[in-house]
Amino acid sequence: MKKIKKIGVIANPEKKKVSIVTQELITWLKKRKKKVLLDSDIAKAIGRGDFACSKEELPAQVDLLIVLGGDGTLLSVARVIGMRRVPILGVNLGGLGFLAETTIKELYKTLEYIFAGKYQIEQRVMLNASIQRRGKIIEAHNALNDVVVSKGALSRILKLKVFIGDTYITTYMSDGLIISTPTGSTAYSLSAGGPVVSPNVKAIILTPICPHTLSNRPLIISEDNKVSIEIGPDSGELSLTIDGQVGLQLYPRDRVLVKKAASRVNLITHYDTDYFQILRRKLRWGGHSAKV
């Protein structure tokens, strides 16, 4: 494995105690002769402009990214990684976190393992979603968790005509449709009744939101399939949401095209915890009582 010399730190300045945690982390890393760069937001928040680098440029400058925050912070980082293969260590400063596995108490022990080369990387697939309007692609974004077509507050029921490749599948009559990766199967899709899918499964999950036909159930397809969603001509106000963070307005007769993205995200997995242990803890399976 590549020796890690340059560390990038991206943090959510709004998280409690993040300034203290970041300062302590900088000191710890500098004592171990590591070069440290901070994303511009946290650098400004703690008065360390000498370490500042934009979030977009940071992945190309470092050997490891440490993300301090929660799953939302990590999702925002995943979208700026692009084709870079820099590994990411997610450190959870929030509540329920599936992506940011490492706790503050575990951070330094985990880093010691990483610097010794004792770590594993999971490659997580991303989705690419684009809007086609009058035959032209007008906007496209990548998503690590999910892509959601949903109605506005005053919209009527949506009619979403779904194709996989060139094959017509069904027309969902519902409040919306979630297209998620296995990583995102424990996010919005799960709350809408979708299945939990292990992140190493090569799949895309389609989960209707409040379907008006009971036979419209979640559907799991190959990650190599391309999904096309045709917005009905009588649809009202509706939107496309990327990872719950980027919102785009949709119009009748638009098409939403979703496929596997060319880029992937390299997540460093916890040194002594597997995915199913995390599920048991976070979802409290089997009466697990540990704090989330």
Q: Which of 39, 71, 146, 254 is catalytic?
A: 71
Structure confidence at residue 131 (pLDDT):
98
DSSP, collapsed to helix, strand or coil, labels residue 196 as: coil
Rounded Cα–Cα distance for residues 62 and 6 (Å): 5
Q: Is 71 a catalytic residue?
A: yes
Structure confidence at residue 292 (pLDDT):
44
pLDDT-derived band at 99, boundaries 50, 70, 90: confident
Averaged pLDDT, 68-94? 90
Tokens found for residue 89: 């260590």
pLDDT at 218 over 50: yes
Structure confidence at residue 271 (pLDDT):
65
pLDDT-derived band at 87, boundaries 50, 70, 90: very high
Q: Is 126-262 in CATH node 2.60.200.30?
A: yes
If one compares 236 and 99, the residue with the highest pLDDT of the two is: 99
Mean pLDDT over each residue of the chain, to the nearest integer: 90
If you count them, how many residues does the chain have?
Answer: 292
Q: Phi first, then psi: what are they for 247, rounded to 5°?
A: -115, 135
pLDDT tens digit sequence for 230-251:
998 877 779 999 999 999 999 9
Q: Would you tell me how many other CB atoms lie within 10 Å of the CB of residue 9?
A: 27
Rounded Cα–Cα distance for residues 283 and 198 (Å): 14
Cα torsion through 232, 237, 243, 246, rounded to 10:
120
CATH class of 6-120+269-287: alpha beta
Structure confidence at residue 290 (pLDDT):
46
**Sequence spans of domains, the chain:** 6-120+269-287, 126-262
Rounded Cα–Cα distance for residues 34 and 63 (Å): 10
Structure confidence at residue 154 (pLDDT):
64
pLDDT tens digit sequence for 123-182:
999 999 999 999 999 999 999 999 999 987 666 788 899 999 999 999 999 999 999 999
Give a three-class secondary structure readout of 44-100: HHCCCHHHEECCCCHHHCCCEEEEEECHHHHHHHHHHHCCCCCCEEEEECCCCCCCC
